[in-house]
Chains A and B, each alone.
Chain A
Amino acid sequence: MNTLLAFLAAAEPAAKGIDPWIAFFSLITVVITVGMGFWTAGKSKSAGDFFVAGRSVSVGWNASAISGEYLSAASFMGVAGMVMLNGYDALWYPVCYACGYLFLLLFIAGPLRRFGAYTIPDFAEGRYDSPVFRKIAVCFVLFIGFFYTMPQMKGAGTTLAYIFPGLHYSVGVIVVGAVITLNVALGGMKGITLVQAFQYWLKVFAITVPIFVIAAIVGHYQSHLEANKTAQETVAAAPAGIERKALPAKAPKDEQWIAPFGSLTTKAVDTAIKAAKTPEEKAALEANKKPYSLLYTYSLIIALVCGTAGLPHILVRFYTNPDGVAAKRTTMWVMILIGVFYVFPPIYGVIGRSLTPELYDAVGSKGTDKVVLELPTLLAGRDYPLLGSILSGITCAGAFAAFMSTFSGLLVSMSSALAHDIYGRMLKPDSSPEQRLTAFKWSAVIIGVVSVGLGTQVEKLNINYLVGQAFAIAAASYFPLLFMSVWWRGMTMKGAATGMLAGGLLALGSIFLTTLSDVYGFAGLADFWVAHPLLRILCEQPAIWAVPLSITLMIVVSKATAATIPADVRMKMLVLHAPEALGLKQEYIKEHEGAGGH
């Protein structure tokens, strides 16, 4: 990797503006991550080690590792960029990313761990004794995973294009994708637990230290926020000691930016108003603007809160807890660790609005998504050039940690799905553990290549927006499956499958349509969206109809097929809900082995 980066630096003639400090810190992060991966690779021998780290990780380690895996490029770069772009409306993202864990804690974490299975497809099969259902459930690991890897790749491309000015966006995507894929193919998950935990602490350090220094020099969170006037305040009262650069034409107006129902949630209606032909049409749209915006907000909240409880690469980590109580404790610590983190990215967005408004004019990898990387260099203009470079190096290191850790985690869970579920269970059920390990490595390579390919296509889209879409798909598929399977005895396999497929696929389809028309701009589709702002909102944020649809279908179909409720459902529910002290899990396994079960 060392030589690779050096080569890139030398080969790129436009890369004269490379700041040695920024390159140095980023390189250190990459080297440590890869080094730890290789170091632990020697220690992970068995298939169990590869898939769930031997199920022996303590609460502290596991909480740090989950947080490290969860805080992706969307959290580290995307939230700040989106707050800078959209203001208050974007605050829902960090808040729900952190608070979504509450649903996971309240309804899913403990029971899921007690049930004991490697992956969500394992759970789907075990709960309904249905290998068919496993195949259905596996698909969503890949759907959600690919939507989630795209923004990580955008983060990688943006960061590398920042470190090496002049480097093409897609080169960054390819380089980072290749390094991580190699790392995962060689290290597996045991390596990753340690690396992820380390990366959480690196990310917290990288987001907090620079912002404290910057705020001390250029003014604090509140004072920069105060410089924005709200709809209620007619006169801008910039607080003493705060200077603010003039906002370019593309930046949203103050009152839209700081007040709820601003530029993010009213975008669809605003475009429709611009295109409206008659004054009556305009007036009708104006009247709908705020109610539609409220709808958008609620749909976003549902997607993020329910989606957190249905992310396959996060859920798989709960199996590494020793028991259900530890799983609950881990979830609480995760909420604290990531909650502390999420206070900070919006501060970058707020200060960025005042001091780096030129980012509003740029698009793609040069736009607001890089405010976290760019902001520290402001100090150079204030007689602290060295400090600015070092701090910018630190935030770059944090960005590397962010997309590397999440991408690794996604690769592991998607490769596990391919190797463990599709290869190990469907294609070659009699394969040896060695063959499965080889299959895992090849799966990692295949998925890495596809992710890189997808990542090169999404330069125009906001990192955070893309991750929100992955959450919406998870919210409409896995969340209803897990929630209903854990708490309702009357669920049947057919009910679960129908609900998950209908909700998940419809959400996926509508998101795909909006994303596709945003990226490639098909004229017909784009015009349709402009003419139908309500449909646009419902397709862009489908959780508000997809989650209830999925749950309703589960109930209706399960009632209709009540004869096929698994025979030993009481025992399964006991395993899910009874405290471990009663030893029901061991009993259940014995019964199953005695009966020649799976």
Chain B
Amino acid sequence: MKESNPTPDPIHSDAFLARLMSGQLKLSIACAFCFIVALVALPLLNYFQPEFMAQRVYGFTLTWLILGVLFFPFVWIISYIFIQRSIALEDAEAKAALDGLKK
């Protein structure tokens, strides 16, 4: 950041903004990807593997158990991981930027 920065103020440089956005966006996309895979896969599994998805698990069909019960904790886990990482990322960026200002 210090080398690639033409302006005297690192916070207002394009490089800082680009890094800030790409860091957060990469994290968001990675988390969204896990979620989207599950959302896309479940109807496809229902479509191509109906017998497998219709097998009974504790009285539920497998697909009903996944969608009606297990999907919620799955999303909670993704969001928990996202928030931990996202806050850590923000703290690191803020610290780096403020350190850069002091120098």
Contact = CB atoms under 8 A, between A and B. Distances in A.
Interface of A: 88, 91-92, 94-95, 98-99, 101-103, 105-107, 110, 220-223, 225-226, 230-233, 239, 258-261, 290, 294, 297-298, 301, 305, 324-325, 328-329, 331-332, 335-336, 339-340, 342-343, 346, 487, 570-571, 573-574, 577-579, 581-582, 584
26 contacts: A88-B67, A92-B67, A95-B68, A99-B39, A99-B75, A102-B35, A106-B31, A106-B32, A223-B59, A225-B59, A231-B54, A239-B59, A259-B46, A259-B50, A261-B46, A298-B43, A301-B43, A305-B39, A339-B72, A346-B68, A571-B12, A574-B11, A578-B11, A581-B98, A582-B11, A582-B97
B5 interface: no
B14 A570 contact: yes
Q: Considering residues A98, A223, A332, A343, which has the most beta carbons from chain B within 10 angstroms of its beta carbon? A: A332
Interface string B49-91: 0110111101111011001110111011011101100110011
Contacts of B90: 324-325, 579
A349 to B, nearest CB: 10
A199 B47 CA distance: 39
A582 B98 contact: yes
B35 A99 contact: yes
B36 to A, nearest CB: 9
Interface residues of B, number: 51
B94 interface: yes
B17 A570 contact: yes
Nearest to B72: A339
Q: What are the 6 A-B residue pairs with the smallest beta carbon separation, nearest first?
A: A222-B59, A260-B46, A339-B72, A226-B59, A581-B94, A579-B94
Given A239-B59, A258-B61, A261-B47, A329 B69 contact: no
B37 interface: no
Contact of A226 (B11, B50, B53, B56): B56
B10 to A, nearest CB: 11
B25 interface: yes
Interface of B: 11-12, 14, 17, 20-21, 24-25, 28, 31-32, 35, 39-40, 43-44, 46-47, 50-51, 53-56, 58-61, 63-64, 67-69, 71-73, 75-76, 78-80, 82-83, 86-87, 90-91, 93-94, 97-98
A225 B60 contact: yes
Nearest to A578: B20
A220 B44 CA distance: 29
A102 B32 CA distance: 8
Contact of A331 (B44, B54, B79): B79
A265 to B, nearest CB: 10
A58 B67 CA distance: 32
Contacts of B64: 88, 91, 225, 258
Contact of A232 (B35, B54, B91, B94): B54
A98 B72 contact: yes
B68 to A, nearest CB: 5
A9 B42 CA distance: 49
Given A232-B54, A290-B47, A298-B40, 15 more contacts: A88-B61, A88-B67, A91-B68, A98-B72, A99-B39, A258-B61, A258-B64, A260-B43, A294-B43, A331-B79, A335-B75, A339-B76, A342-B72, A487-B25, A578-B97
Given A225-B60, A231-B54, A335-B76, A579 B93 contact: yes
A570 B7 CA distance: 14
A464 to B, nearest CB: 15
Contacts of A103: 32
Contacts of A340: 72
A324 B63 CA distance: 36
Contacts of A106: 28, 31-32, 82
Contacts of B80: 332
B20 A577 contact: yes
Given A95-B67, A294-B47, A102 B79 contact: yes
A93 to B, nearest CB: 11
A261 B90 CA distance: 43
B31 to A, nearest CB: 5
Nearest to B40: A298
A340 B94 CA distance: 35
Contact of B17 (A101, A261, A573): A573
Given A88-B63, A487-B25, A574-B17, A335 B68 contact: no
Contact of B53 (A110, A260, A305): A260
Contacts of A573: 17, 21
A556 B4 CA distance: 31
A339 B68 contact: no
Contacts of A290: 47
B64 to A, nearest CB: 6
